[in-house]
Each structure stands twice: as C-alpha cells, then as structure tokens.
C-alpha cells in the first residue's frame, strides 16, 4: 500500500488516516458478480482491491455463511447450461440443476483458476461509500478508510428481507424465509408459507413430509413452469437459451398454450388465474408443487387479511390455526452503505435508474454489478457487464475519444431490454430484463462503443 495520507470525506467527517489507493478500483463483494468483475478488471490490466464480509467467496451460495439465505434443499432454478460462465463450464458430472454445494465449489474453483483469492480481503464489511471531489472514500467496519478512483458495487440484491405488514399479532413462531435452513424446522407443525415465489414453493415442498399440515398463501396467480419440457431443462428448451425466434406477443401465446398442453392446469389445484401474461412476471419453476397440490399434501390459501394469536384470517373469509408462519416475501433492494442519490435513485423509483442497469449517467466511476433479474442468462451476463465496465475504465485512461463517446451514450435514453414485455409493477420486476434482449444489447456494446 501507499503511505497513508490525511484526507477529508465529503460529509466533513475526518479520519486520522485515509489510505490513498488512487489508480485503483474498489470491488464490494465476492459473490458471482464480484468475482466476474475482479476477473474482468484483472484481464484488462485494471488494478483493484476487493472486500468480502464472509471468510470465503460465493456470496449467498455458501450455506455456512451467516449472510447467506441458502437452505439445504436449494438448487438452481435455471439449468447449468443457461447459467454457467461460457469459458468456465460447470463439471460434466454436475446435475442439470446443481445444488448449492456444487455451486459453492464452482465459485471457489473459479476464484482459484483465475488467481482471484490473493486480491480479496475477507471478513471486512464496507460501512460507507462517500463522494470526495472526483474520488470515493470507502470506510470499513474496522475503522479504516481508503480513497479510490472508482467503485464497483457487487454486494447482491438479496440482503434486506421484506416483511409485509398485516393487522394483528401472530403469537406462534414466525420467520422470514432468509432464516430457513432445514426441513427439521417443520417437524410436526401446522405451517403457513406466505408468498409463492420460487423460494416459497421450494419450502412448501420441503415441508410436505415433515409438517403436520402445510398451506401456502398466494395473493395473486402464477404461471407454473416444470423444470423439464419434453426431457429438456426448461431454460434450454426452444428459444429459452437466449435466441429471439418470434415476436414476443406470439411467443407468449405459443408458450402459454404449450404449458397448458404439457403440464397440469394449476388452476385446478387452487392456484389463482394469473392477472398477467406469461413472462410479465417471474414464473414458478417447480415440478413438485402441482404434484403435491394434486395429492392434497399442500393447500392453497388466498392473501392474509390479519393475525389473531395463532389464527390467520384470509381475505376470502376463511381462517386456520398455525404453529409456524414463514414469510417467503422476497427482499427490498437496498445499498445501505451509500446515499441512494449517488445511484441516480429518484424518489418513488423501485430501483436505481442506470444505463443497462450498470452505468450511472453522470458519474464515470461508479458501477452496480449484477443488478438484474431475468428469465435466464445467469453468470455469463455478469461477465459481459464486468467486461464492459473494465473496457470503459481502460478507455478513460487510454482512449479519451472512445470514453467520451460512451459517456454521451450512457447519458442518453437507455436501450430497450424488455423485448416488448410489459413487466408487472412489482418491486423485483423493476430491474428485470429479457435475457435474449439483454444479451443482444451487451454484445452490441462490446462489439461497438466499447469494442
């Protein structure tokens, strides 16, 4: 490190020692997006420091981390083929839908293969990121502070559990799904899962053989996609691997008809009719949920109206008693260490307004990595994001004309990444992209302005 120098952060608060790490980039996090970012910066000759609050890489995929929301039965809901890095495939022996242990090892192998470990500082948390003129001051929970020329935020977006508010008080046991680890939790209990996203449905299936009873509360209808279609992983079937083959309005009709043809109608088993078209919200990807609904192992309930001791009242006027309520209600998108204003996050918006979900329109030295949800694409998309950031940083240093051209581009209207899909207005859909379209946009960027 360079010799410490005394500096002042933008708030006016002084640190006795701010270590000058100018000419370097700070990467926050060593999960999938953080590792992809580190590799891209390294291969483009960009110096960086990386901070990770856990003692190893992998982010949420490390079930042993206190910061993970992983559970014992967790697997990818997208196929390995559609999720892996193209130049670092998952092992041939890995299942079509690998479990969390396989994925954790995959990321550790990735970090070893590309020499990333020696550049990561583990077991430290970033507490604050503040602007200071044309640089950033990064403060750690150790009390240390560093000055960087740029910051890549790669801490993920599954960190802040969303707790919906319902009238009344539940006097039984209540947890958020982020706390769930093992089906032992359900043993001999009357269980209610609130929320029917993919984690909620996984937990309901987990509970079937352990709980006395298991209900799942759905406030709206969902499309249910089996993990295999004609023996092929759903994400790899037809256009699922990423190529546009038909207009979206036609694809929605064709794929909806296909689902009705190859899979049981979920409405028959109590799942409400969706209030949106296919692809406008993330579907349930699960082959066991409808099976257990059809066997009477799980019962669908409507939205919760209120709690009364151990009784849960639902919006259809029914009620039931439970020992355990699990809130599988997702996460709030938050970046607690930085002022939302620095992220071009305007009041009322559900996500930062960034070019391609990465680039700030004004700052040329602040990037958010991996801020996407999509119908596929996995970690390769994050690799392309990282490559684009690395090339922009290099252009600022070596090719000012090219850098200025991209500055103008990112300050203008962002290209469409929806592919004509009118996404639902739920919080998590605020940063949702159509996999095939986003891939195309990233390739256009890397082959063109940042080529």
Q: Which residues pair with 331 in a beta bridge?
A: 161
- Model confidence at 245: pLDDT above 50: yes
* pLDDT tens column, 167-214: 999 999 999 999 999 999 999 999 999 999 999 999 999 999 999 999
Looking at residue 238, its pLDDT comes to 65
264: left (phi over 0), alpha (psi -120 to 50) or beta: beta
Confidence (pTM): 0.92
SS3 content of the chain, % helix, strand, coil (to 5): 30, 25, 45
Taking the C-alpha atoms of residue 34 and residue 58, their distance in angstroms, rounded to an integer, is 9
Average pLDDT, the chain: 92
CB atoms near residue 222 (< 10 Å): 23
- Domains of the chain are 18-160+332-447 (3.50.50.60), 163-329 (3.50.50.60)
Q: How confident is the model at residue 16 (pLDDT cuts 50, 70, 90)?
A: low
What is the number of residues in the chain? 451
**How would you class 335 by CB atoms within 10 Å of its CB: exposed for 0-12, middle for 13-18, buried for 19 or more?**
buried
Looking at residue 53, its pLDDT comes to 97
Position of tokens 């930062």?
Answer: 352
Mean pLDDT, to the nearest integer, of 309-327?
98
Cβ–Cβ under 8 Å, residues 431 and 351: yes
Q: How confident is the model at residue 31 (pLDDT cuts 50, 70, 90)?
A: very high
Cβ–Cβ under 8 Å, residues 318 and 301: yes
Cβ–Cβ under 8 Å, residues 278 and 223: yes
CB atoms near residue 327 (< 10 Å): 23
Mean pLDDT, to the nearest integer, of 307-335?
97
Looking at residue 144, its pLDDT comes to 96
* pLDDT tens column, 153-166: 999 988 899 999 99
Report which of 149, 146, 132 is spatially closest to residue 2, judged by C-alpha positions: 146
* pLDDT tens column, 395-419: 999 999 999 999 999 999 989 999 8
């Amino acid at each position: 490190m360079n010799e410490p120098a005394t500096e002042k952060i933008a708030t006016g608060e002084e640190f006795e020692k701010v270590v000058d790490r100018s000419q370097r980039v700070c990467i926050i996090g060593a999960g999938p997006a953080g590792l992809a970012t580190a590799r891209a910066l390294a291969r483009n000759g960009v110096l960086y420091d990386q901070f990770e609050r856990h003692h190893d890489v992998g982010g949420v995929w490390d079930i042993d981390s206190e910061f993970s929301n992983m559970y014992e039965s967790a697997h990818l809901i997208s196929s390995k083929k559609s999720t892996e890095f193209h130049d670092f495939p998952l092992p041939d022996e890995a299942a079509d839908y690998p479990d969390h242990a396989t994925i954790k090892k995959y990321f550790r192998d990735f970090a070893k293969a590309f020499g990333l470990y020696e550049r990561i500082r583990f077991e430290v948390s970033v507490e604050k990121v503040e602007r200071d003129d044309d640089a950033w001051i990064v403060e750690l929970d150790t009390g240390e502070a560093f000055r960087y020329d740029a910051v890549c935020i790669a801490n993920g977006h599954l960190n802040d559990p969303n707790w919906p508010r319902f009238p009344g008080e539940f006097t039984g046991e209540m947890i958020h799904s982020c706390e769930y680890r093992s089906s032992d939790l359900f043993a001999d209990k009357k269980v209610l899962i609130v929320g029917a996203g993919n984690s909620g449905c996984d937990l309901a299936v987990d509970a079937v053989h352990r709980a006395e009873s298991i209900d799942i509360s759905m406030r709206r209808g969902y499309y249910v996609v089996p993990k295999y279609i004609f023996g092929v992983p759903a994400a790899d079937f037809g256009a699922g691997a990423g190529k546009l083959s038909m207009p979206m309005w036609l694809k929605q009709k064709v794929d909806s008809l296909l689902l009705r043809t190859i899979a049981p109608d979920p409405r028959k088993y109590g799942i409400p009719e969706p209030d949106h078209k296919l692809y406008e919200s993330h579907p349930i990807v699960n082959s066991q949920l409808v099976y257990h609904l059809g066997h009477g192992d799980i019962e669908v309930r409507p939205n919760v109206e209120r709690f009364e001791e151990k009784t849960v009242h639902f919006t259809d006027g029914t009620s039931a008693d439970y020992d355990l309520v699990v809130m599988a209600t997702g996460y709030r998108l938050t970046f607690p260490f930085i002022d939302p204003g620095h992220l071009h996050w305007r009041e009322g918006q559900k996500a930062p307004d960034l070019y391609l979900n990465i680039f700030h329109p004004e700052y040329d030295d602040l990037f958010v990595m991996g801020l996407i949800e999509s119908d596929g694409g996995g970690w390769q998309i994050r690799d392309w994001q990282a490559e684009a950031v690395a090339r922009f940083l290099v252009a600022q240093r070596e090719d000012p004309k090219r850098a200025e051209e991209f500055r103008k581009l990112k300050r203008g209207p962002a290209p469409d990444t929806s592919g004509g899909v009118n996404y639902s207005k739920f919080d998590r859909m605020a940063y949702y992209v159509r996999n095939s379209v986003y891939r195309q946009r990233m390739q256009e960027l890397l082959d063109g302005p940042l080529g």
